[in-house]
């Protein structure tokens, strides 16, 4: 579920170093030793598995600038971060003009590399979200934008594409939250009316005394409160598509008038002396069994047959669990972009948890649950404890899996690694009589211990203590610690 970073460098040692840093932060990695191999991977059959590239500029054969130029033409949306030992202004300007998202001079701190990766991905998420919102607003949401590759959803897409070719009423059925409106918008986009209005009406959310006015319109002064003329949804959707969501909730008297509009192709606004012709493609949706409602007398049989010309049944999420990984990844990216978060993905255990849940609220429930988990999470990836309503675990628990303190440790020769500190040398909080020591004394010993343990590397000491370097040096002065004496102790 995490993003994959393609590391491109002709130096195997540099690739190993970058791999350690990147994978430590929750990303997957692929490697390429030259420009040709990088382009083959980034533009090949499995290019969709590569989300960002770390690219060395100076390489034998095809160099980094040539790779950038090729990507700018064939895959401009792929974010590229340039890494090079030559940090000249000219090199920076050329790389950024060539399409690089960022420029990092080697050797770079691991934190700098990870921040650059996350910033580049955030920009990509924002661009993708803007495109998605623009598509939705302009009626351009297509079947290719639908997420999920389950066989049951492929059947829905096939039916939707067929239904879009003909100007016939379509009835979309399915439980609440399965995405019926998304299917309707995709049908509109694939039809001849794609550049025409797409008007949505939630029939279950309209007050009974306002249904007629909202659907068919009214003239000024036709009833109390009618201070101006109102066209109604049918006239708003003229030449386009009218989506009647939860059509099964319409009152019986409105069902009669709706049937007349569908048969005659004209509406009769309240207070008007003449009818108004309308040309509207009807797509309706419901989570009810309309055939059963007809038997119960709550839905007109003639209207049911008028709407149910081309039925499409959307399966619930529990019947297409294989779509959960793709949906989860989509929601994380979308929420990251909308809320400026930086969640990298989910753990394998979390994905198993989500796939085993029944999701009675379907895709909408999954989206809301992931949003809540992202707010609760204090880690790089979503864990089971971030979903307390599903897992039963308490939010904020530490990760169960052990993690290395530093991704570079495994790359340092054993003979050069510092010896582990014995428990006897650790800082104690009690004095010899078993009473608590003062906070000032404990802080002094802790700083002294950290400086000694990390060989006087003050940046690492500050990071491990969770304070800034300026704060660390101030406390060193306050406690009258001599850094050189501490390191030689």
Would strands 310-313 and 170-173 be described as parallel, antiparallel, or unpaired?
parallel
Assign 307 a pLDDT band (cuts: 50, 70, 90). Answer: very high
So what CATH class is 151-314?
Answer: alpha beta
% of residues, the chain, pLDDT over 90:
34
CATH topology of domain 318-391: Helicase, Ruva Protein; domain 3 (1.10.8)
Instruction: Provide the pLDDT confidence category of residue 419 given band limits of 50, 70 and 90.
Output: very low
pLDDT at 416: 40
What is the rounded average pLDDT of the residues 203-217?
89
Please, what sign has the CA dihedral across residues 313, 318, 322, 326? positive
pLDDT at 4: 86
Strands 80-84 and 276-277: unpaired
Mean local confidence (pLDDT), 206-223: 88
56 near 35, Cβ under 8 Å?
A: no
Query: Is residue 150 scored above 50 in pLDDT?
Result: yes
Domain with CATH 1.10.8.60 in the chain: 318-391
Higher pLDDT, 69 or 139: 69
Sign of the alpha-carbon dihedral angle for 38, 43, 49, 52: positive
Please report the pLDDT score of residue 67 as a whole number: 86
Q: Span 244-255, mean pLDDT? A: 93
pLDDT of residue 483: 64
Kindly state the average pLDDT of the residues 386-390: 90
Predicted pLDDT at 87: 61
> CATH 1.10.10 occupies which residues in the chain?
418-488
pLDDT confidence tier of residue 358, bands split at 50, 70 and 90: very high
> Residue 103: in which H helix or E strand, if any?
strand 102-105
Report whether pLDDT(395) > 70.
Answer: no
Distance (Å) of CA 206 to CA 202, 261, 374: 7, 19, 34
Rounded to whole angstroms, how far apart are CA atoms 226 and 478? 76
Higher local confidence (pLDDT), 195 or 299: 299
| Rounded-to-integer distance, Cα 142 and Cα 188, Å | 8
State the average pLDDT for the chain: 82
Under the banding of pLDDT at 50, 70 and 90, the label for residue 126 is low
* Start and end residues for every CATH 3.40.50.300 domain found in the chain: 151-314
C-alpha distances in Å from residue 20, one per residue of 14, 30, 114, 405: 10, 12, 11, 12
| Segment among 89-103, 131-145, 399-413, 424-438 with least mean pLDDT | 399-413
pLDDT at 137: 54
Q: What is the pLDDT of residues 434-467, one digit of tens each?
A: 677 788 888 888 888 888 877 777 888 888 888 8
Which residue did the predictor score with more confidence, 149 or 382?
Answer: 382
Question: Span 300-317, mean pLDDT?
Answer: 95
pLDDT tens digits, one per residue of 158-188:
999 999 988 899 999 999 999 999 999 999 9
Question: What Rg, from alpha-carbon coordinates, does the chain have?
Answer: 31
Q: Kindly indicate whether the domain formed by 4-134 is annotated with CATH number 3.40.50.2300.
A: yes
Distance in angstroms (rounded) separating the CA atoms of residues 167 and 262: 13
Answer yes or no: is pLDDT of 341 > 70: yes
CA atoms within 13 A of residue 337's CA, in its CB half-sphere:
18
Q: 415 pLDDT band (50/70/90 cuts)? A: very low
Contacts 24+ apart (CB under 8 A), 259-268: 259/300, 259/302, 259/303, 259/306, 261/216, 261/234, 262/169, 262/303, 262/306, 262/307, 263/306, 267/215, 267/216, 267/217, 267/232, 267/234, 267/235, 268/216
- For the residues 48-74, what does the mean pLDDT come to? 85
Looking at residues 249-255, what average pLDDT do you find? 92
Question: 418-488 sits in which CATH class?
Answer: mainly alpha
Q: Give one DSSP letter per residue of 258-322, joined into a string.
A: HHHHHHHSEE--BT-SS-EE---EEEEEESS-HHHHHHHTSS-HHHHHHHTTEEEEPPPGGG-GG
**All CATH 3.40.50.2300 domain ranges in the chain, comma separated:** 4-134
DSSP letter (8 states) at residue 31? E
Query: Does the pLDDT at position 139 exceed 90?
Result: no
- Coil, helix or strand at residue 112: helix
Name the β-bridge partners of 83: 56, 104
CB 179 within 8 A of CB 363: yes
Measured between alpha carbons, how far is 318 from 356 in angstroms, rounded to an integer? Answer: 9
CA distances from 312 to 163, 285, 291, 322, 369 (A): 9, 9, 14, 21, 27
pLDDT interval class at 295 (50, 70, 90): very high
Q: Averaged over 289-304, what is the pLDDT?
A: 95
Give the pLDDT score at 76. 83
342 within 8 A of 27, measured Cβ to Cβ: no
Average pLDDT rounded to a whole number, residues 65-86? 84
pLDDT band at 96 (very low <50, low <70, confident <90, very high): confident
**pLDDT reported for residue 2:** 62
d(CA 151, CA 155): 6
Contact indicator for 395, 385 with CB cutoff of 8 Å: yes
Q: State mean pLDDT over 71-90.
A: 80
Helices (H), 28-179: 35-43, 64-74, 89-97, 110-137, 151-165
pLDDT of residue 13: 85
User: What is residue 418's predicted lDDT score, i.e. its pLDDT?
Assistant: 44
Region 278-286: mean pLDDT is: 95
Quick one: which of 357, 367, 356, 359 has its CA closest to 328? 367
Cis peptide before 86 (omega within 30 of 0): no
Count how many Cα atoms sit within 13 Å of the Cα of residue 28 in the half-sphere of its side chain: 11
């Amino acid at each position: 579920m995490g993003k994959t970073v393609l590391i491109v460098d002709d130096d195997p040692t540099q690739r190993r170093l970058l791999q350690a840093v990147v994978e430590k932060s929750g990303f997957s990695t692929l490697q390429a030793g030259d420009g040709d191999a990088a382009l083959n991977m980034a533009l090949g059959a499995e290019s969709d598995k590569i989300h960002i590239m770390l690219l060395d500029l100076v390489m034998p054969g095809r160099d980094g600038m040539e790779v950038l130029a090729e990507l700018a033409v064939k895959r401009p949306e792929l974010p590229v971060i340039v890494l090079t030992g030559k940090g000249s202004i000219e090199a920076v300007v050329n790389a950024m003009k060539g399409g690089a998202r960022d420029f990092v001079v080697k050797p770079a701190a691991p934190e700098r590399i990870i921040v650059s990766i996350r910033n580049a991905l955030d920009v990509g998420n924002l661009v993708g979200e803007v495109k998605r919102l623009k598509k939705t607003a302009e009626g351009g949401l297509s079947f290719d934008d639908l997420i999920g590759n389950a066989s049951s959803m492929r059947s829905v897409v096939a039916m939707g594409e067929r239904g879009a070719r003909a100007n016939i009423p379509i009835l979309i059925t399915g439980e609440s939250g399965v995405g019926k409106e998304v299917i309707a918008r995709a049908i509109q986009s694939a039809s001849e009316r794609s550049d025409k209005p797409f008007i949505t009406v939630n029939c279950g959310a309209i007050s009974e005394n306002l249904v007629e006015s909202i659907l068919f319109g009214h003239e000024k002064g036709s009833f109390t409160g009618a201070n101006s003329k109102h066209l109604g949804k049918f006239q708003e959707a003229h030449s386009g598509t009218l989506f009647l969501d939860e059509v099964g909730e319409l009152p019986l008297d409105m069902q009669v008038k709706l049937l007349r509009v569908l048969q005659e192709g004209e509406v009769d606004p309240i207070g008007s002396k003449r009818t108004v012709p309308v040309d509207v493609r009807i797509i309706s949706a419901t989570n009810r069994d309309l055939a059963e409602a007809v038997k119960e007398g709550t839905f007109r049989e003639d209207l049911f047959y008028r709407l149910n010309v081309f039925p499409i049944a959307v399966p619930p999420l529990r019947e297409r669990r294989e779509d959960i990984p793709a949906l989860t990844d989509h929601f994380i990216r979308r929420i990251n972009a909308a809320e400026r978060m930086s969640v990298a993905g989910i753990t394998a255990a979390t994905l198993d948890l989500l796939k085993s849940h029944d999701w009675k609220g379907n895709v909408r429930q999954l989206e809301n649950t992931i949003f809540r988990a992202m707010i609760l999470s204090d880690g790089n990836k979503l864990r089971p404890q971030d979903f307390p309503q599903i897992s039963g675990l308490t939010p904020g628990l530490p990760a169960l899996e052990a993690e290395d303190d530093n991704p570079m440790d495994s790359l340092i020769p054993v003979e050069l690694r510092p010896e582990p500190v014995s428990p006897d040398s650790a800082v104690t909080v009690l004095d010899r009589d078993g009473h608590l020591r003062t906070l000032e004394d404990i802080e002094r010993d802790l700083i002294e211990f950290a400086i000694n343990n990390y060989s006087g590397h003050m940046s690492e000491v500050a990071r491990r203590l969770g304070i800034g370097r300026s704060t660390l040096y101030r406390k060193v002065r306050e406690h009258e610690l001599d850094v050189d004496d501490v390191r030689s102790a």
